[in-house]
A = this chain, B = another copy of it.
Amino acid sequence: MTALDETMNAIGVAAKDAARAMRAASAAAKNRALIQAADNIDAARADILRVNAAEVAAAREAGKTNAFIDRMALDDGRIDGVCSALRDIAALDDPVGKTLREWNRPNGLSIARVAAPIGVVAVIYESRPNVTVDAAAIALKAGNAVILRGGSECIETNGALYKCFRNACADAGLPETAAQFITTPDRAAVGALLSGLDGAVDLVIPRGGKSLVARVQSDARAPVLSHLDGICHVYIDGDADPEKAVAIAVNSKMRRTGVCGAAETLLIDKGALDRLWPPIAAALREAGCELRVDDAIHALDSAAGKATEEDFQTEYLDAVISVAAVDGVAGAVAHIARYGSGHTETIVTENADAADQFVAGVDSAIVLVNASTQFADGGEFGLGAEIGIATGRLHARGPVGVEELTTYKNVVRGEGQIRP
């Protein structure tokens, strides 16, 4: 075992111990820690910004892209955002101990499913320092211990934020190791985390680019909540209201093109192409979107680019959209089953049967009717805070908030029953 493995395994042991203490932590203590963490960060603001400025300068010197720099750079507004997120999470209902369902048995036993913390959550992320605090806060609110591993370019910034969080935990009487931050830049630490630290890690959540998520999905020994792609579809049904169709298509694609809930493919009922394509195409072009269309649409609109097979498999995250004509709801469902990533799809229709058929047939984490795909977001769902969006099939699908970071136990109460 290498020295790093030993360090990492010790982190795992400390996390398991902390998880045990966190299971019994009161809502009041957890909320006190979150509010104190906000106060600590507010008080340490000048130091945090100084440390961050130095790391930003180093990243610039190392030739990082502007987008990368933008993600890692803090300013007063972002620090304010981190602090208010902490206070918002403190204000949420405590999920632990909630009775999710209960029933009685003929022998007098009463059975309840009661929400319980998952245990040890590992969060592996890239260059956004706010994730250090957000992820720790959401995991802790749900009664978990958390192990944080952020991108090496922000290690000092993250460390400064983490210190504020850790001290707040200690002040609130929670274990100091309720959140642990991995300070070594050694990339092997990620491998150790993914190996599960000798069974200590119960859940892994990656936050970052596709290569990080793909690596975590492929290598993690513990369950993973994540999404790899967001190839989201807007289906315009023949019974769509044209105004809604235009507004939802443009908003789904163009409101923000870089988010995972942005639409990448537009599907149009082929029976209504003549009527619906011209206003939608005009609005998308007006918004600055490049169109890549299939043959049926190209026959109507030769100014549009031609889509290849690859286009329908591509998450552009840019002002480009692929477009296909499909044979009604069944055609849309079949296209989505073939090319979709299980993230978010919407149908625009005034026909309730078509909507129901779409909702039943599309097997994605989020299925919308007459609303923009850009609502695929924990804030928009009202979860209060989200740690990411999951497209796996088990446990939690869609936005993952505080409740989704709990599991349940079966609590059975009797008066001496034995089994015949």
Contacts and interface: CB of A to CB of B under 8 A. Distances in A.
Contact of A375 (B202, B370, B412): B412
Contacts of A410: 365-367, 381, 397-399
A394 interface: yes
Contact of A359 (B103, B398, B411): B411
Contacts of A111: 381-382
Contact of A203 (B363, B381, B393, B408): B393
Given A395-B395, A419-B380, A414 B371 contact: yes
Contacts of A46: none
Interface string A52-96: 000000000000000000000000000000000000000000000
Interface stretch (A34-42, A145-153, A164-172, A239-247): A239-247
Contacts of A321: none
A149 to B, nearest CB: 20
Contacts of A109: 371, 375, 380
A97 interface: yes
A23 B361 contact: yes
Contacts of A412: 366-369, 371, 375
Is the interface on chain A under 10, 10 to 19, 20 to 34, or 35 or more residues?
35 or more
A283 B26 CA distance: 40
B251 A363 contact: no
B248 A364 contact: no
A103 B24 CA distance: 30
Contact of A414 (B97, B366, B368, B397): B368
A121 to B, nearest CB: 10
B413 A20 contact: no
Interface string A94-117: 000100000101000101001010
A337 interface: yes
A407 interface: yes
B370 A414 contact: yes
A97 B367 CA distance: 13
A2 interface: no
Contacts of A105: 380-382
Given A23-B360, A118-B393, A371 B416 contact: yes
B418 A363 contact: no
A223 interface: yes
Given A395-B395, A413-B368, A363 B23 contact: yes
10 nearest A-B pairs in the assembled complex, by CB-CB distance: A371-B414, A251-B418, A244-B416, A394-B395, A374-B419, A398-B410, A395-B395, A368-B412, A371-B417, A372-B418
Given A105-B381, A371-B416, 16 more contacts: A23-B363, A111-B382, A116-B363, A118-B394, A202-B394, A203-B394, A241-B416, A247-B416, A363-B409, A366-B412, A368-B413, A371-B413, A371-B417, A372-B418, A395-B407, A397-B409
